[in-house]
Amino acid sequence: MMTSMEIRSQQFNRSMRGFKEEEVRNFLALVAQDYEKLFHENATLRDQIQRLEFEISKYRKMEETMNNSLILAQQTAEELKQNAHREAALMLSESKQKISEMLNIYQDVIKRLNIYSAELKAQLGGQMEMLDKSQKRFEDLAGFFYGKDLKEMMEGLEAIKMEVI
């Protein structure tokens, strides 16, 4: 690629019927000046393109990172949701099992209380029967001791004692 200096220093051979030297130099100066301007503009545009490509690359990396973060966040949320469902199901299952165990224990306690109550009732019934029999004997004995026959016998004994003295 030619530089602006090469354009400016370009020499042409002379011929008899050639172009006017001054016009050719002026034209070459204009071409060199335009070429310089275009060269600088091209360099500036290349720098700008390079900078923009770097920024695009940076934004693409950021976008990729954000997409990966979003995917990771979605996966984490899904895992947390599944774990929560598993824990809830486990807690519910454990709670049902504990409730069932407690109901079985309560049923067993109620059965035992019913058996104890029946046994106690039977014992108390036996005791009441014995108490009733004892009461009947006491009444019979009281009837004997407070009866007319015993009173007469006691009076007869008193009478016998007095005679002995």
What's the confidence (pLDDT) of residue 107? 95
What's the confidence (pLDDT) of residue 12? 72
Q: Over 90: is that where the pLDDT of 158 sits? A: no
* CB 29, CB 10: distance < 8 Å: no
Choice among 1-10, 57-66, 118-127 with the minimum mean pLDDT: 1-10
In a domain, 115, yes or no: yes
In a domain, 91, yes or no: yes
Instruction: Kindly indicate the confidence band of residue 104, based on its pLDDT and cuts at 50, 70 and 90.
Output: very high
Tens of pLDDT, residue by residue over 51-89, are 999 999 999 999 999 999 999 999 999 999 999 999 999
Q: ∠79-81-85 over CA atoms, to 5°?
A: 115
- Rg of the chain on CA atoms, in Å: 65
Report how many domains make up the chain: 1
What's the confidence (pLDDT) of residue 163? 58
What's the confidence (pLDDT) of residue 103? 95
In a domain, 131, yes or no: no
- Angle at which helix 21-146 crosses helix 148-164, to 10 degrees, equals 50
Question: Which percentage of the chain shows pLDDT scores above 90?
Answer: 52
What's the confidence (pLDDT) of residue 162? 59
In a domain, 83, yes or no: yes
What's the confidence (pLDDT) of residue 85? 97
In a domain, 114, yes or no: yes
In a domain, 164, yes or no: no
How many Å apart are CA 96 and CA 90, to the nearest integer? 10
Query: Which structural domain, as residue segments, surrounds residue 61?
Result: 4-123
> Among residues 68, 78, 8, 4, which one has the least CA distance to residue 41?
4
What's the confidence (pLDDT) of residue 151? 76
In a domain, 137, yes or no: no
Instruction: Kindly indicate the confidence band of residue 112, based on its pLDDT and cuts at 50, 70 and 90.
Output: very high
What's the confidence (pLDDT) of residue 153? 76
Q: What is the mean pLDDT of the chain?
A: 88
What's the confidence (pLDDT) of residue 70? 96
In a domain, 33, yes or no: yes
